[in-house]
Structures are given as C-alpha cells and as structure tokens.
Structure 1
Amino acid sequence: MSANGSQKAKPVPAQDMTPSDSVAPDASSTPAQDILSSVGTATYEWAIPADRLAWSDNAANVLGVEARQLGSGRAYAQLMTPDSPAGRYEAVVNSPHVDRGEGVAYAIEYAIRTASGDVHWVEDSGRWFASSDGRPLHAHGAVRIITESYETRRRLIEASEFDPLTGQLSRHRFCEVLEDALQDAVKVRGSMGLIIAAIDSLAHINEAYGFDVADEIIAAVGKRIRSRLRGGDLLGRLSGNKFGILMRSCQPEEMETAAERILNAVRDDVFLTRAGPVAITVTLGGIVAPRHAETLAAMMGRAQEALDGIKARRCGAFQIYAPSLERERARRENLRITDEIVSALNDRRISLAFQPIVTAGSERRTAYYECLLRIRRADGSLLPASAVVPLAEKLGLVRLVDARVLELTMAELIAAPDLRLSVNVSPATTMDLTWLRALEAYQRTHPGAIERLMVEITETSAIADVEDTRRFVARVQSLGCRVAIDDFGAGHTSFRNLRKLGIDCVKIDGAFVASFQSSADDRHFVQTLLDLARHMQLTTIAEWVPNEQVAQVLADLGCHYLQGDHTGPASEDRPWVPVAPALAKSA
C-alpha cells in the first residue's frame, strides 16, 4: 500500500492472516518454493503492527531454530546474539527512507544463535510497505545462512588490517593510521613520531635455523617491542624484518627514551625458539613530524634514511633523522642523474670509449682494448662515469646499462675479425640470467667473436658470494670467453677463493700501481701479487701505469700487460679501423 492509501500488488495482506495461515502452502506444490528450499533460502511475511511472522515450511530447518521461535518479530529478534549488528526491526521500523509506492528495499546481515548453541550469520533481504500514514505496515523477504562466506570475508578484512604472523597492524592499515595521526598533528600544531625497527641479521638466522625459527623470532620481537610502548602508541609490521612504531605526542627526547627501551628489551634477553636460545638485536631509525616531514611518504622515506645511516655504521643502535643541506643536494643530484640515465637508455645515447691494453715487453703491442662506458646528456656533454655507475647499481638500472654495453661491444667484435675487447660487468649482472642468455645467443650466431671477448668482474663483487661468482665464471668460460678479476688487491680475496674462482687473468688495482714509485709498501704489494699470479699461472695486467720507468719495472717483475694513460689513453676513436686513403692524405 502506498503512502496515499492506494493498494499495490502484493502477497495476501498480513492483517487478514489467521494462525493457520502462518505456514506457507506445501512447497511441493510451488516450483519457486522448491528452488528456494534447494538453495537453503526461507521466505517470510511480517505483519508489523500485529507483529506476526509467517514463514515458508523450510524456515526452521534453514535457520536451525525451533518453529515456536519464529512466530513474531519480537521472538525472532531474541535469537540475535548480543554483539550482532542491527536486525530487521531497525532496518524496517526505524528506517529513514519513505515508501513512495514501490516499497522500500533493505538488505542486512546479523548473527543468531541456533537451538544447538551455534552462531549463524544470516543474510536478510526484503522490502517493506507503508500504510496511509507512511508507517511500515508489512514486509516480506528471504533469509539464508551465510556463515561460511561471512567468515571468509571477515578473515580477508582481518588479514588486510592485521599481520597474520605477528598479530600487529598490517602495513596498509598502519600507514592509514599513521597518515591520520600526521594530519591530526598538523591541525593542532602538535608533534608525533615514527620509528622503523629492523631485526638485524635475519637472513643469517634463516640460513642457520630455517624460516620457521625466523618466523618465531619475528613474532616474538613484535611482542617484545609492543610490551615496551606507551599507551596510545601503535605497532605495525612494515615488511619481512621491519616494524613501524607510531608515537603520538612525541618530542625528540621522548623518542630517544623510547628507542633505548626497545633496544634494551630486545638485546638484553635471548629469544627461546624450537632451535634453542637465539640472541637478537634491532636497529632503529626515527623521525619527528611534521617538523621534518609533512607527508606519509616523506615520513617513511626519512625514517628509513635514518635507519640506513645508522646500520651502515653499526647495528643495534638508534638514529633520529636530522635534515642536511648536503644530503638534500646529493639527493636532488641523484634524481637528476637517474633521469639522465633513463633518458640516455631510451634515446640510445650510451656509447663506448676504448683504452688499449698493451704487452709489457719492448714492442708494446696492443692485445686488447677495454670498453669504457660513456653516457651523454641531451646536449652532448658526458656524464661522469664515477657518478653514474654507483647510482645505476643502487637503483637497479645497471643491468640495462650492461645489456646495452654488451650489445655495443659485440657489434665491434663482429665488425672487426681480429679485434679483442674486454668489458666490465656489475655485481648485479653476474646474477642476471638475461645477460647470460644474450651472451649465449651471440655464441651461437658469432662463435668467433665471442672467443675474442674478455669479461671483467670486480674483486669486491667476486668475494661477496664466491660460489655464485664461480658459477658465473664457469658459465662464461664455457662459451669461449676469458674472465678477469678487475681491481685486484682492493678486496680481500684469499688464495683459496682465488683458486676456486678459476679465473684467467688478474688486473692489479691501479691505486697500487699509481703510487708504485712513491710507496715502498705498494711496490712490495704489487710484487707479491705478481708472484702469486705467476705461481697460479694467471695472466696479469697492471692498471694506471703512470710512466715508462714504472712500466719497465713491472715488465721486469713479470707483469704481462700494461694499461693506463702512459701506454694509451681512452678514446672514442677506433684505431683498429683503417683510415680511408683520402683522409690519410689530407691528414
């Protein structure tokens, strides 16, 4: 019935029902009822002023309750659990909506307790109709049990808000709360803080004890940190070994005090695990906002920056972020160089320069050319390689750079059948299967060219993971390439590791060669390296040879090849390419 009293098409008026009408006709006589029963759905009619409920035959079975509990809206409401959301009465009788002739639809979920004591979640959807005075007169609808799907949704929501391993806030939820706290601090001109806590040496724990024990430790560290927080402060898990700590109404002094409590709590008592007791430390980096950060991204980034800064010096300590003009300038410069590297890759403004590697004898014959990276800006000027390579390695761009350098190097080798080149690869590239597959592809198509290539790896990268480097060396050598260790002497390669790597050549770090004349220690060190290489039957190359006197002494000591500005500077010219007759005459 509409608000103006006109009758709408609807089921039998609830006010005309008798007690004998409270049960619907036999479901077998109604095809629609058969369908509803088969999918566990029950239907109802509710005469609201008289509070009479009429149900389909299957209602008691669907809901798991006794039929006498379904006779009225009041009796049915008593089935709801105390902590259940609002039920049908609130959705209908207290509805803020107005029936304008079509009825008002509703869809709600609530929890009821069954006759067996179990709790079931019910989906209740229907439509109520108003009397002439606009008040709800009667309603009809359908209910079904959705406990399983409700629990699935609840677990998904819980997983999005809480970390399943530690029970602390998830990263997503923690960041939401952190951003709200920052906005509140800005509004009231207050102060709040963020600490990022990183569990030290978690990778070593994984290797030594296994991932299960590492997970135990992560959860236990979270509990121990949580126990040392002030009331109102929050803890969330940010990543594998990192937690975030939100400190409300926090000044730098309070943050330092809290950090000391956390450091001591984790460090002072060992953690008991299934593998036995394990000693753990955490390192902390913090920031006070909005004093030093006005956005969530800035807070997270600068707290991480403080954490990285202290971890580089020592673990198990705390550092609070402090602004630095020099650091900000360096960051802006890094961003600028990053953009230029990406632009140079896209615009193919990466090229090579070639420095000769000559025999140490009197002839000084060029045996190889080392390919040196050149990256040009859009205006044609060169980016300094000393700034480009470390940043490219840090940002993960070096693999793209190395791939382009390999492409350019192979093009030179293919074009010049007698040419021999060496090329440097970064530590990241030694683990890059894409680079190795490219090298294998060249070996299949141009086997003669690949055999004239020498691959150089730095000593520091070689000793970082000897086994991985050994596998890389073996794979490159199997394709016909020679492999050299560059900057030999700059790291701490042992005799055993040097032998295990199976390399073909060592390039003595230029810092020792450049000071060969002025430093007796460096002379002795170079001589020792040459003796070691000779004993291991390795080819030797001395870098940064400063003058003829040093070159002659190195040759006398048994060094095989020389490299440096004295024997030939790097140039983008190709001296192995014959000069055209006309050009030679004009020259």
Structure 2
Amino acid sequence: MKSQARRFRLTVVNQVLFVLGLVLLIGLAGLVNLNERNFDNFAQEEQQFSYLNYERQLGEFVEETMDYLRVSARSHLAQVDFNHQADDRKLINYWRNLYIYSHLPILGAEFFEESQEVDQHRHRFGYSKISERAKKVLLQNTEEQSWVVDCNPHCIVYFTVTVERLNRPSLQAFYGLDAGRFLNAFPLDLDSHHIAISPDENGNYHAVYASEAIKGNVEKILELVKDYDLNQNLHHIDYSGRNFEFRVSDVGMQSSPVYLIKISDITKRLAKIESIRQKNSWYSVLIISLSLFASLIILRTLLRRVSRTIRLLPLLAHSNFERFRQRMALQNRRWFHDESDDIGRALKRLSHQLENYESDLKGRALELEWTANYDALTELPNRNFVAHTLQKRLITNEHGALLLVDIDNFKYVNDISGHDVGDELLIKLAEQIKKIVASDHLVARLSSDEFLIFGPDLSIRHAQVLGQRINVMANQLRVAGSGIIHNPTVSVGIAVAPEHGERYEDLMTALDLCIQEAKNRGKNCVVTYQQDLRGEDFKQQHYWLEKAKTAIGEQQLELFYQPILNNNSQMVQHYEVLLRVRDSSGGLQSAYPLILAAEQHGLIEAIDRYVVQCALTQLESNMAHGHLCRLAVNLSGRSFCSEDLISSIVHEIKMRKVDASYIIFEITESAALSDLELAQKHIQALKELGCQLALDDFGVGYSSFHSLSRLSFDFIKIDGSFVRDIEHNPNHQVFVRALVDIAKQLGYQTIAEFVETQNIQQATIDLGVDFSQGYHIGKPAPASQYWQIDRTAEVLLLSKDQESSYE
C-alpha cells in the first residue's frame, strides 16, 4: 500500500520527561495534599492550643482573684468571733478596706460560720442579699467550683472562700463582684473582645455584658449566634468579609446558664495561613520545574550522545569498523563519564569482535568456496566448478574440445592396496595430466576415477593427439601397492563444442557414451564421439535410468510374491518378494533393467530400502490376519556391502517390532564373496535379530565351496541354469546332487529355481532338494491374490495361465 498510517513518534527524551513530569506532578499533588493536611492539623492544634490557653488564662485570672480573696479573708477573719459585738467592728473595717482599697469591683460580701444555720443571722455588707441560687451552688461544689456567675437581675460574679480557724468552726465568706468590671479587667488580645449572653424564659439570648468595643454590634452578634449550639466551645463565623472565631465558655449555673464568648478577629491569621499555603504551592511548583529543567538538561545531553551512538551503528552493519571507532572517540571527549561512556566502550569492543568475526567468516567463506569448487586431494577444480565455468563459456559460443579421462578398474586398486595407494595414483595422474596439457587448458577431477580436460579452440585432431598422449602416459605410470606394482590404464572420451553439443549437459552425455564405448572395446583406448553412439541401446539405458530416479516418488513400483514349496511337507512355507515396475503404458513388467540402471548409477540402495520397508509392512499385515509365512527379500551386492543400509534395515525391523524369524534376505554369490569379512559382519548383524539368509544364484559366480563353510547361511538357492534341463543333463544332475550333499553337511537347506514342469519337480525331489520354486509351483502375483483367501492352492491354479515374467 502506498499510504500507511504513520505511528506517532515519541523520542526517549520526551518519554522520560513525560514519565518524570507525571511522577513529579503526582508527587506535587501528594505534597500539596500533605501540606494542606499539615496546615489543617496545625490550625486545629493552634485553635485547640489557643482555646486551652484562653481557658488557662481565664483560670489563672480567676485563681489570682481567689488567692487575693483567700489571703485577705484569712488575714482579717481568722480571729473574728461572731458572738462578741466587739468583733463586729473588725468585720466592718475589713469590708470597708476591701471595698475602698481593693482593685476588685466588689459589690458585697457575706460571712457566717459553718455551724450556723443558713437562715440564721449573718453578717452582710454591700448589697442587701447574695443570690441564694449562687450560694447553694457554691456550697454544694466547694471543692469543684469556687466561683459562679448569676445574671438575675444583674450579672454578678460570686466567689466563696473557706477560712479555717483554730478551735473554732470554719468561716465561710461569699463575695459578689461586678461581672462587667471583673471581665474588663481580664487581659485580651487586641483583636479579641468579650460578650456574655444569657437566654431568657423564651430561649432568646440577651447580652448581660459586652466589651466597650463591640457594644454597638451586640444586636448583630446576638443575631449571628442564635443559629449555633453554644454548648460547643468553638465556632467560626464569616461576617462582612471578615472571619471571626467565637470561643464559648459556660460560666453560669445549670438552671441559669451564662455564656462567656471570646470573639476574635482571625482574618489576618487566616490570610497569613493562606499566604503560606500559596507560597508552599508555588515553592513546590518551582522545585518541580527546576527538577524537570535539570532532568531535561541532563537527559538531553545523555540521550543526545546515545542517539548519536545509534546513528553510528549502521557503520558496523557496513563493516566500517575503524570509522565507527573514530567517530565514537570524538564524542567521548568530556570532563566526566557516565553510563553512555560504558555503552561506547562496549560498542568499541563489539566492533573489534565483529571485525575479527567478519575476518574469520571471510576466511571460512573462502575455504568453503574453495572446498565447494576444488578437489581436496588433487587440488584440481571439481565437477561443480567445471559445470558452472563451462556453462558460462559455452553460452558465449566459445569453441573447444572436452576430454574425459576414466581410470580403468580403479576400484581394484582401492580394494587390493587400500585407499592410500589409490589416492597416490590419483595425485600422480593429475600431476602428469597438468604437465601434458597447455597452460590455458582447464583440468578438473569430476569423480573418484574421472578427470575432465577442456581445451579452448582445440580441434578434434589435436584433441585426439592429446588423448593418445594421456593414454600412453598412464601406461607408463607406476604406483607401488601391497605386494604389487599398479600399472593403470585409462579410457579417454572426446567431444567437441559446438559440433557435438552446445550445452554442457549434452557434451557430458556425449563423453559418457564415449567412455561406455571404450569399455565395450576393452578399455585402454581413445574414443571420439560419433552420432551413431546414440542408438536404441542408449535410449533404453537413458529411459531406465530416469525411471530409477523417479519410480519411488511417482509410486511406479509394486511388489509381487512367488510361492516356494517345501518338498517334504508339500506346503508353501514362504514367498520370494519380486519387484515390478510400471512402464509408460501403465502395465507391470520385470524391474530387471531398472535394477541394472540403478546399480550402475548408484541408485540401488534407495530402491532396496523401499522394497524392504514395503515387505515389512506386508509382513505386519499378514501376521495381524493370521497368515504366518516367511518373506524372502533380495538385496543387491552394493546394498549388502553398505554399512548405512544394513544399519537402516536393522533399525527398521526393531522399530516395527515384527518377528524377524519370518524374514529371509537373499544375496548373490558375488556380493557375499567379494568381501568375505564384511559379509560375515552383516550376516551376523541380521541373524542376531532372528533373520535368515539365503545365498542366491549359486553355481554361476565364484562357486567356492570352501567359502560356504565360512558363511552362516540358512538356504542355498541353486541357479535355474542347472535346474531347467536337469532331467536331460547328467552333468547338472551330478552338480545338484553334490551341492545338496555338501549343503546338508554344512546344515544348509537347498532351493531349486526354475521348476517349471512336474518332471523337473520330481527330479529335484529325487535329488534331495528341500524346496522348489518356479511356475509349476506358482507364478508371481500381487499380495491381494495370495492372502485374501485361506487356500493358497486355489490361487496357484488361477495363476497358471499368467504369462511368464520372472526376475
């Protein structure tokens, strides 16, 4: 798509600042909230302290008054005797001095002894009578309450003092003080005033005392306090844009309450507190701003260096390691160091490591490239290099000749003297070829025993001369082996471009045909490609080679089974597994030409592995359905000599958990006797599983009876060439009889092949052969024809009319 939604890009600096700002903002909110709580707590504590201080001051003021009255009473009344008239003069003088000279606004006093009745005569001075209510309250609560205010009809503060006298009853003194003058004497702050109010019978408040400064606002105050519960000691009231604090103390009696209210103007104090709050908030905002600014300076410097480092990283991707280190060194020149310098140093170390790693990779890449294109033994170009090079040169219509040099019977050098001698032969031959050819010629090793030479602009005649020189040179080469001097010969094929082909593949096909023709001529010769080499035989070989490559993948292979009769019990006890292949028309035919092509081109192991797997699958099915019969599977000589294939077969049998005693592997004499030691090893591995072994086509190969005694076979299959005319050929009868006798002595059982008539069958029985196999016994057929019904004999009768097709 041409247009895509662009993602919002937020740099690391902005991200960090955003997160930091958010954290600081949360911190600011928490700090402001904490300060608000602290201020509220402080204000409450200050109010509480102010109230307690006010109560303390009021208590101290009252206590000072009480102390004055107490001292005065004790000093003047302790010796007074109320029963002597002479002492009355002392009381009058005391009252006169107290009233005239005291700083207290005393209105009256009353004295009596505690032994006197309340209603008896007493000594009174000043006003006519002290409030009986106040007197009663004070007498009942002398220890708890020593003063009280009574505002009926006038507000008077009453005090009581008890004077203890020696040998006489205690004296009780009551004093009445003018409440207004008394409260005026109480020291207050400049912004504080007193007012005393009392409720009337209707519950309405009226002022019984007010400070001089607020007398003009009494009505307003009474209007304000009527909505508040005066039993609470603290109230805040806003009036006319100012803030007032009302502190209430109940100084009256329960029956006649009097509320003393201290009115304080706290407008300035609240303004000061609010100012402190605002300053604290601005201070917090300033601290956050400075923190953000400092963080911005520090982070931008740090992250700018990180960003520059990130922009330098592509230099590492482009292998500019030295330039990367130089640029990193320039930005590290600072007075102080931080984590970005650690990153820089780590990246420098990384650049050195990457540089070394890249150098190693380049070296290994060159090694791999050399290994992919050159032969490690002769140091010549290999097939891959030749194919790539010649394809490019042939595309440009370059002319030249190709010579394919094939060492005759090279396998025997390795088998007889070992691979070290074979390698020495290859090295010497490669050196001699390079000496013979021109400097502009391409010399390569294609396979284990093949060399290729390409001479640009080399004619057929000159190529033939070069081929003859190489042939002669090889005949003169000598290599010492294990007790033998190897004198190799070579077959040389010649093809010319573009006369014999314009593509590399076509020229290589022509060279293969030349080598094949050289082998047909007896080897050790030079063959130049001619068109008649591409005959019908070549087409058939090519057809079966392609068929061998694709038959498994395209599911063109099918297994047939041929019964083998036990001549003693006259019962079929096992079947030989035979391979069939579908031709171009879809019909099934013998796989013999396919097997030949597969053996010649190294494809036989894959086919043998496929046959074994299919046979094991059929054996599992047979045993699951109660068909207990053995299956005999053929292994080619190359497969039987393969360590990997034998290991794979052993693993397959173990994995499937089938009864290995129902498996027979058939191998030919050439496979068993070409490498006796390896044959013994592989036979032992298979027999340890419980498998049985059969030696196939005995009599047409080495036919070494001595070797038979060294190999642990279970069956010997007599080749059909000795069986098909056994009733007319006495020599074959002698051979078969001798083989049967030897086999019995060695503990082997014998199987006769090509039993096609009743007479042959009878002859094999007469000669003592244990088993018979052939069209007379039964023709090869698919598994479905043998194991879908119980009676095998009926299938054998049905198969009599099929055409002969035997591997």
**TM class, shorter-chain normalised?**
0.5 to 0.7
Aligned length: 441
Aligned mate of 1:411, from 621, 640, 652: 621
> Could you tell me how far apart the structure 2 residues matched to 1:213 and 1:460 are?
24
Q: Secondary structure, in 3 states, of the residue corresponding to 1:553?
A: helix
User: Measured at CA, do residues 537 and 232 of structure 1 come closer, stay the same or move farther in structure 2, by a change above 3 Å?
Assistant: same
**Partner residue, 2:175:** none
**Partner residue, 1:438:** 652
Q: Secondary structure, in 3 states, of the residue corresponding to 1:293?
A: coil
2:448 counterpart of 1:236 = no
Q: Secondary structure, in 3 states, of the residue corresponding to 2:781?
A: coil
> Could you tell me how far apart the structure 1 residues matched to 2:481 and 2:691 are?
49
CA deviation after TM superposition for structure 1 residue 467, in Å: 2.4
Aligned mate of 1:468, from 655, 669, 678: 678
Deviates more, 1:537-546 or 1:281-290: 281-290
CA contact 2:561–2:781 (8 Å) conserved in 1: yes
CA contact 1:413–1:421 (8 Å) conserved in 2: no
**Partner residue, 1:304:** 512
User: Measured at CA, do residues 162 and 550 of structure 1 come closer, stay the same or move farther in structure 2, by a change above 3 Å?
Assistant: closer
**Partner residue, 2:736:** 526
User: Measured at CA, do residues 202 and 370 of structure 1 come closer, stay the same or move farther in structure 2, by a change above 3 Å?
Assistant: closer
2:503 counterpart of 1:295 = yes
Structure with more helix by fraction: 2
Aligned mate of 2:596, from 372, 390, 415: 390
CA contact 1:174–1:236 (8 Å) conserved in 2: yes
2:774 counterpart of 1:564 = yes
**Partner residue, 1:539:** 749
1:261-280 mapped onto 2 (5 Å cutoff): 261-270=469-478, 279-280=487-488
**Partner residue, 1:369:** 575
TM-score (structure 1 length as normaliser): 0.64
CA contact 1:285–1:321 (8 Å) conserved in 2: yes
> Could you tell me how far apart the structure 2 residues matched to 1:371 and 1:159 are?
43
Residue by residue over 1:468-515, the C-alpha shift from the partner in whole angstroms, topping out at 9 and shown as x without a partner, is: 222222222222222111222121141222122210111111122112
CA deviation after TM superposition for structure 1 residue 287, in Å: 1.8
User: Measured at CA, do residues 275 and 238 of structure 1 come closer, stay the same or move farther in structure 2, by a change above 3 Å?
Assistant: farther
User: Measured at CA, do residues 253 and 357 of structure 1 come closer, stay the same or move farther in structure 2, by a change above 3 Å?
Assistant: same
CA contact 1:267–1:279 (8 Å) conserved in 2: yes
Residue by residue over 1:43-64, the C-alpha shift from the partner in whole angstroms, topping out at 9 and shown as x without a partner, is: 99xxxxxxxxxxx9xxxxxxxx
Aligned mate of 1:381, from 587, 597, 621: 587
Aligned mate of 1:197, from 386, 390, 405: 405
Q: Secondary structure, in 3 states, of the residue corresponding to 1:471?
A: helix
> Could you tell me how far apart the structure 2 residues matched to 1:378 and 1:326 are?
17
> Could you tell me how far apart the structure 1 residues matched to 2:557 and 2:455 are?
48
1:107-186 mapped onto 2 (5 Å cutoff): 165-184=377-396, 186=397
> Could you tell me how far apart the structure 2 residues matched to 1:422 and 1:428 are?
18
Work out which structure has the larger RCO, using CA pairs closer than 8 Å and 6 or more positions apart in sequence.
1
1:567-578 mapped onto 2 (5 Å cutoff): 567-572=777-782, 574-575=785-786, 578=789
2:640 counterpart of 1:424 = no
2:570 counterpart of 1:356 = no
CA deviation after TM superposition for structure 1 residue 358, in Å: 1.7
> Could you tell me how far apart the structure 2 residues matched to 1:254 and 1:220 are?
24
CA contact 2:560–2:577 (8 Å) conserved in 1: yes
> Could you tell me how far apart the structure 1 residues matched to 2:450 and 2:723 are?
44
Residue by residue over 1:71-105, the C-alpha shift from the partner in whole angstroms, topping out at 9 and shown as x without a partner, is: xxxxxxxxxxxxxxxxxxxxxxxxxxxxxxxxxxx
CA contact 1:334–1:391 (8 Å) conserved in 2: yes
CA contact 1:181–1:248 (8 Å) conserved in 2: no
User: Measured at CA, do residues 251 and 525 of structure 1 come closer, stay the same or move farther in structure 2, by a change above 3 Å?
Assistant: farther
Residue by residue over 1:428-451, the C-alpha shift from the partner in whole angstroms, topping out at 9 and shown as x without a partner, is: 443312222112234xx343xx32
**Partner residue, 1:26:** none
**Partner residue, 1:281:** 489
CA contact 1:198–1:243 (8 Å) conserved in 2: yes
Unaligned segments of structure 2, at least 5 residues:
1-307, 310-315, 331-355, 799-807
CA deviation after TM superposition for structure 1 residue 321, in Å: 2.9
Q: Secondary structure, in 3 states, of the residue corresponding to 1:514?
A: coil
CA deviation after TM superposition for structure 1 residue 232, in Å: 3.9
CA deviation after TM superposition for structure 1 residue 295, in Å: 0.7
Q: Secondary structure, in 3 states, of the residue corresponding to 1:286?
A: strand
CA contact 2:417–2:481 (8 Å) conserved in 1: no
CA contact 2:541–2:597 (8 Å) conserved in 1: no
> Could you tell me how far apart the structure 1 residues matched to 2:485 and 2:417 are?
11
> Could you tell me how far apart the structure 2 residues matched to 1:479 and 1:147 are?
53
Q: Secondary structure, in 3 states, of the residue corresponding to 1:540?
A: strand
Aligned mate of 1:401, from 610, 614, 617: 610
Q: Secondary structure, in 3 states, of the residue corresponding to 1:370?
A: strand
> Could you tell me how far apart the structure 2 residues matched to 1:168 and 1:575 are?
57
User: Measured at CA, do residues 328 and 294 of structure 1 come closer, stay the same or move farther in structure 2, by a change above 3 Å?
Assistant: farther
> Could you tell me how far apart the structure 2 residues matched to 1:576 and 1:226 are?
64
User: Measured at CA, do residues 287 and 518 of structure 1 come closer, stay the same or move farther in structure 2, by a change above 3 Å?
Assistant: farther
**Partner residue, 2:84:** none
Q: Secondary structure, in 3 states, of the residue corresponding to 1:354?
A: strand
2:709 counterpart of 1:495 = no
**Partner residue, 1:249:** 457
User: Measured at CA, do residues 516 and 167 of structure 1 come closer, stay the same or move farther in structure 2, by a change above 3 Å?
Assistant: same
User: Measured at CA, do residues 148 and 41 of structure 1 come closer, stay the same or move farther in structure 2, by a change above 3 Å?
Assistant: farther
> Could you tell me how far apart the structure 1 residues matched to 2:695 and 2:527 are?
38
CA deviation after TM superposition for structure 1 residue 555, in Å: 1.3
CA contact 1:414–1:446 (8 Å) conserved in 2: no
**Partner residue, 2:540:** 330
Aligned mate of 2:666, from 456, 459, 469: 456
CA contact 1:541–1:561 (8 Å) conserved in 2: yes
> Could you tell me how far apart the structure 2 residues matched to 1:372 and 1:147 are?
58
Q: Secondary structure, in 3 states, of the residue corresponding to 1:451?
A: helix
**Partner residue, 1:221:** 429
Aligned mate of 1:552, from 762, 766, 784: 762
**For the aligned residues, what is the CA RMSD?**
4.3
User: Measured at CA, do residues 269 and 480 of structure 1 come closer, stay the same or move farther in structure 2, by a change above 3 Å?
Assistant: closer
CA deviation after TM superposition for structure 1 residue 458, in Å: 2.4
> Could you tell me how far apart the structure 1 residues matched to 2:419 and 2:633 are?
39
User: Measured at CA, do residues 504 and 155 of structure 1 come closer, stay the same or move farther in structure 2, by a change above 3 Å?
Assistant: closer
User: Measured at CA, do residues 378 and 434 of structure 1 come closer, stay the same or move farther in structure 2, by a change above 3 Å?
Assistant: farther
Aligned mate of 1:509, from 719, 729, 747: 719
Larger Rg: 2
> Could you tell me how far apart the structure 2 residues matched to 1:163 and 1:575 are?
53
CA contact 1:181–1:192 (8 Å) conserved in 2: no
CA contact 2:421–2:480 (8 Å) conserved in 1: no
CA deviation after TM superposition for structure 1 residue 539, in Å: 0.6
> Could you tell me how far apart the structure 1 residues matched to 2:366 and 2:550 are?
48
> Could you tell me how far apart the structure 2 residues matched to 1:198 and 1:373 are?
33
CA contact 1:266–1:281 (8 Å) conserved in 2: yes
> Could you tell me how far apart the structure 1 residues matched to 2:420 and 2:470 are?
24
